Structure 1
Amino acid sequence: MIPNAITATALCLGLTGVRFAIGGEWEKALASIVFAGVLDGLDGRIARLLKANSKFGAELDSLADNIAFGTAPALVLFLWSLKDAPRFGWIAALALAVCCALRLARFNSRIETLDQPHKSAGFNTGVPAPAGAGLAFVPVYLWLVSQGSGFEAWFRSWPLVMAWTLFIALLMISSLPTFSWSSLRIRRSMRLFALAFAALLVAALAVEPWWTLLAVSAVYLVTVPMGLASYARFRRRRANEAQRERPTAPAPAAN
Structure 2
Amino acid sequence: MNGEKIDMSESMRKGIYILPNLFTTGSLFAGFYGMVATMNGDFKTAALWVLISSIFDGLDGKVARLTGTSSKFGVEYDSLADVVAFGVAPGLLMYKWALQPFGRLGWLAAFLFVVCGALRLARFNVQVNTVENKRFVGLPIPAAASMVSATVLLFYHFGWPSSYKKVAILALIYLLAFLMVSSFRYYSFKDPELIKRQPFAMLVLAVLLLIVIAAEPVVMLFVIFFCYTFSGIIGFFMSLPRRRRLEKALHHRHAKDDH
Scaled to the shorter chain, the TM-score interval is: 0.7 to 0.9
1:131 and 2:132 are equivalent in the alignment: no
Q: How does 1:46-195 map to 2 (within 5 A)?
A: 46-112=63-129, 114=130, 116=131, 119=132, 122-147=134-159, 151-156=160-165, 158-183=166-191, 185-186=193-194, 188-190=197-199, 192-195=200-203
Q: Secondary structure of the equivalent of 2:104?
A: coil
- Supply the AA of the counterpart residue of 2:143: A
1:224 to 232, 239, 244: 232
- Supply the AA of the counterpart residue of 1:134: S
Instruction: Check conservation: 1:9, 1:36, Cα contact below 8 A.
Output: yes
1: distance between equivalents of 2:210 and 2:40?
Answer: 27
Structure 2 CA distance for partners of 1:70 and 1:204, relative to 1, 3 Å:
farther
2: distance between equivalents of 1:179 and 1:95?
Answer: 24
Structure 2 CA distance for partners of 1:18 and 1:229, relative to 1, 3 Å:
same
TM-superposed deviation, 1:177? 1.5
Stretches of structure 1 that go unaligned for 5 or more consecutive residues are none
Provide, for residues 86-106 of structure 1, a one-character-per-residue CA deviation record: whole Å limited to 9, x for no partner: 330000110111111000011
Partner of 2:33: 16
Instruction: Check conservation: 1:136, 1:168, Cα contact below 8 A.
Output: no
Q: Secondary structure of the equivalent of 2:62?
A: helix
1: distance between equivalents of 2:167 and 2:53?
Answer: 28
- The count of residues paired between Structure 1 and Structure 2 equals 239
Instruction: Check conservation: 1:142, 1:155, Cα contact below 8 A.
Output: no
Scaled by the length of structure 2, the TM-score of the pair is: 0.79
- Supply the AA of the counterpart residue of 2:94: L
1:43 and 2:60 are equivalent in the alignment: yes
Provide, for residues 82-131 of structure 1, a one-character-per-residue CA deviation record: whole Å limited to 9, x for no partner: 1111330000110111111000011111234x4x3xx26x3211000110
Deviates more, 1:45-54 or 1:17-26: 17-26
Partner of 2:49: 32
Provide, for residues 192-249 of structure 1, a one-character-per-residue CA deviation record: whole Å limited to 9, x for no partner: 4444555555565555332121111232134223332465577579879999xx9x98
2: distance between equivalents of 1:198 and 1:221?
Answer: 21
Q: Secondary structure of the equivalent of 1:124?
A: strand
Higher helix residue share: 2
- Supply the AA of the counterpart residue of 1:154: S
Deviates more, 1:227-236 or 1:179-188: 227-236
Deviates more, 1:160-169 or 1:99-108: 160-169
Scaled by the length of structure 1, the TM-score of the pair is: 0.80
Q: Secondary structure of the equivalent of 1:218?
A: helix
Stretches of structure 2 that go unaligned for 5 or more consecutive residues are 1-17
